[in-house]
Amino acid sequence: MLSYFETLTLGKKEIAMQAGNPCNHNYFVMKGCLHMYFTTEKGTERTVQFALEGWWLTDFLAFQNRSSTDFNIQAVEKSQVLSISSEQQELLLEEFPMLEHYFRIIYQIAYGASLIKVKYLYDLSKEEIYLHFTEHFPDFAQRVPQYLIASFLGLTPEYVSEIRAKNRS
């Protein structure tokens, strides 16, 4: 089964997928951490998703449609990933049809997580969003740079620093 995948070692901040290019690969994180982001017209990077060990990351819509992506995927830290092209994934699923169920579950979980994030962005204050995130994902909050967490939560790094200082006192 591993013959369908390519093993990649990504250095910290190395780009695996670049906005504007065709989205031809799906990435499985064996070790490390990746994030997917886009850059606004003002040049601000906005993280939309992270992937830790055991998680998949790609622009699922562009991957499925074999179209260009609006997102970048970058290593947050040195990472080892398995990369599978859309063509190889189709061949893999032909040979191992039971994996259709596995990938369907992966896509459903990713979609559900996106819905929960949108709910929090509408329902909670900025401070509540940050505190909820750090309470539910304390190890992750310590592992990933605060500016990336701020970007993911729609906050500025300065605001996150204020919240952290306020909660330390």
CA distance 37 to 45: 6
Which tens digit of pLDDT belongs to each residue from 99-112? Answer: 999 999 999 998 99
Please state the rounded mean pLDDT for residues 1-21.
Answer: 97
pLDDT reading at 167 higher than 90: no
What's the pLDDT score for residue 1?
A: 87
Is 58:17 a contact under the CB 8 Å cutoff?
yes
Return the structure tokens found at 137.
């994902």
What's the pLDDT score for residue 76?
A: 98
Q: Where are the alpha helices (DSSP H) in the chain?
A: 60-65, 86-95, 99-123, 126-136, 138-143, 146-153, 157-168
Rounded to two decimals, the pTM is 0.92
**Mean pLDDT over each residue of the chain, to the nearest integer:** 95
- Tally Cβ neighbours within 10 Å of residue 9: 13
Please state the rounded mean pLDDT for residues 48-53.
Answer: 96
**CATH top-level class for 2-122?**
mainly beta
Model confidence at 48, in pLDDT bands (50, 70, 90)?
very high
